[in-house]
């Protein structure tokens, strides 16, 4: 099982980025993928989640309305589109795999056995 995040970089406040998570070693349709982020000195924060079997999605309050998670099963890839980025969005973003989870627990890292290396997003002027 492997997950590889990419697409991070330096972006101006108000800008946008699309992060990609390419997976291998399992059938994407059978699992959920979530994006987490971790800022320096802070605990990981669940950003968004998608259960690939039926497309169920969840978002953290901090990004709702600014983020869109999607998948392309043919490419074994999950995307996170982030818009209207602010300084508070600066963090290392990584993707992780879990079984199907309900709304109240999707953001808890203990359910994610596999995670990939992160990609750094820096919002700065």
pLDDT of residue 2: 96
Calculated CA dihedral for residues 121, 1, 73, 5, nearest 10 degrees: 10
Per-residue tokens: 14 = 């108000």
**Mean pLDDT, contiguous 10-residue spans, the chain (125 residues):** 97 97 95 96 96 92 97 96 97 96 90 95 97
pLDDT of residue 102: 86
pLDDT of residue 52: 84
What's the rounded Cα separation, in Å, for the pair 62 and 68? 13
**Please, are residues 72 and 79 in contact by the beta-carbon 8 Å criterion?**
yes
> Which residue bears the tokens 């901090």?
62
pLDDT of residue 91: 98
- Please, what's the b/e burial string for 95-113 (b: 16 or more CB within 10 A of its CB; e: otherwise)? bbbbeebeeeebbeeeebe
pLDDT of residue 108: 93
What's the rounded Cα separation, in Å, for the pair 11 and 25? 32
């Amino acid at each position: 099982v492997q997950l590889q995040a990419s697409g991070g970089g330096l972006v101006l406040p108000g800008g946008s980025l699309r992060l990609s998570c390419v997976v291998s070693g399992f059938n994407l349709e059978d699992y959920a993928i979530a994006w987490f982020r971790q800022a320096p000195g802070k605990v990981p924060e669940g950003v968004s989640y998608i259960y690939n079997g039926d497309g169920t999605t969840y978002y953290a309050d901090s990004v709702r309305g600014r983020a869109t998670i999607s998948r392309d099963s043919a490419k074994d890839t999950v995307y996170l589109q982030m818009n209207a980025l602010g300084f508070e969005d600066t963090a290392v973003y990584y993707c992780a795999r879990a079984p199907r989870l309900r709304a109240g627990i999707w953001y808890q890292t203990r359910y994610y056995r596999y995670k990939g290396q992160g990609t750094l997003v820096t919002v700065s002027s």
